[in-house]
Structure 1
């Protein structure tokens, strides 16, 4: 295949569904995502999509500062601390997605050249596209239900507290929603609606980040698994051809390089996601143990905490599968019979031994199945405090 020919299946085409959702909510501003071909992807430094993402970033960081101002002036308040963490983390996610969008067309063009080789040799991972849509539908619909529940509870409270429609809207947007901002600027319905729209974008982004990490991890896990199975097939069939082993070694090496490149760009997402998820786990457990709730508030807790735990475990589990899959090559290669060994197998073993592949949080930790258990004592300590 030529360098500009694409196979019928590739990562961008499989992720197109969730990339469209990202742009609906104002982040990941890449032009051409509706096309199936990565060579149609473009990024423009000055565009409406980029300006929208920057606008949401600025609003989020200003909202964080408004919450911090109240914390400084009035002392600790869990509501405003949550607001500061929520706004800061999601505004930062928007900024990180903006940076990733600038590199995305180049990443995908680089990846599709490798996928042309992989598709010809291993085909496409079984049920990958279906599972991508399944994961995305479950987590994003769950987030939608959770967001509607919390906003619905606020609207019900606002209706019970105020009489006229205009006063209900003002109470919902100003008093219950964005009091910290409207202590600094004059209230208007338009400003309140804009802040509520930004809040909705942040709610989607909060879940989307974990979903995105999970799906990219799933892709690399599936690809490494295909290559490992091919290694086992070569070994079981007693193939001694150096060319066959060179091809599979080069496939593995190139996939490792692409995975390392993705890790470099996603590690900031991972680090921020893990720490904010831990914070909200602590907060949710503390609230349910120490604060009385109405029935509707308890339902919201179940939805919110269940979503938080599910997506965190999902991200750690699939990231852990990638971690384990890349380490399964060494035992498979090391057990190759001596009479089959050649220079390509020796090189393959040395490359696998010297490389550590997996998604990390800025190299502070590697995503694996035990990560959530490692932070369990940390969570229990703060809940008891």
Structure 2
């Protein structure tokens, strides 16, 4: 095995000087004026961000989170010329099913941390040995501790190929894949490419809107379409900016920790099943753990470039014929009807509407998410 394909053990060790610089920047924050409305229709609200940053300045402990990351087996390996960072947690149970899960934006591997132990050791968390998974959690190129691409081309197809290579390199000739947000884009692409050994996929943001809608829609279809229209009119400005000007927004995100925090916080509030209050779903520590993975790796611009790699991306149907499982969470950006999934996926092996949870399903509702993943892949073991 060449050095480029070796699995190199990895530890997170952020220099104290960088944390001291962060503290200095937080202490010197220049705040904007308060919004002129009583809700978050103008974006992240001043008082809520000030409360979050106050906790960040005085109580948040990066070393706690760093130790948690380092408690899991972490590695880097070079694939297609780029260093990929990933967690690889093997189950103690015989015949565990290998599972690669992909995060999204503005998320990270943090989204999945509370699901790791129940997935790899189900007998300790209300499951059975037959529910066990070997879990692989890579960071998308340009995110977290994966390398940043220096040229264009790291799109969903290239990432999907890299993930397949990673699973083969780990010794998993047969595996399953899961994802939401960009993770759903990548996982869906893996399904479209039909890699040898990819037994099934599970997504919690399905791309199933039909190209040709009937003249008369059911109430469920109309509701889903209305959600898409609302997102296109009121929720997509961030998408357009990161698609067309990722470097411009990157200057602010690289220089201002509060700018980076508010850019992420607003999406955690508006896309979670929280009625606009991120704090009702996530602790400050969880919110800041995720934000810190962007800050300490200076990946505001590089993560935004994922959008520039996919101009024109929408919720339009991607037709797949390998086994596909879908979980729809009620607080998701749009909640399509099963009929649309049945049209897009010729081999729909699982469909369920979860009781609660939103766009960040694994992060918001880890127990429900674990239950969904177990059920989703039960028939392909």
**Between structures 1 and 2, the one with greater helix share:** 1
- Is this a same-fold pair by TM over 0.5? no
Quick check: which has more Rg, 1 or 2?
1
TM class by smaller structure: under 0.3
| Larger fraction in strand | 2
TM-score (norm 1): 0.24
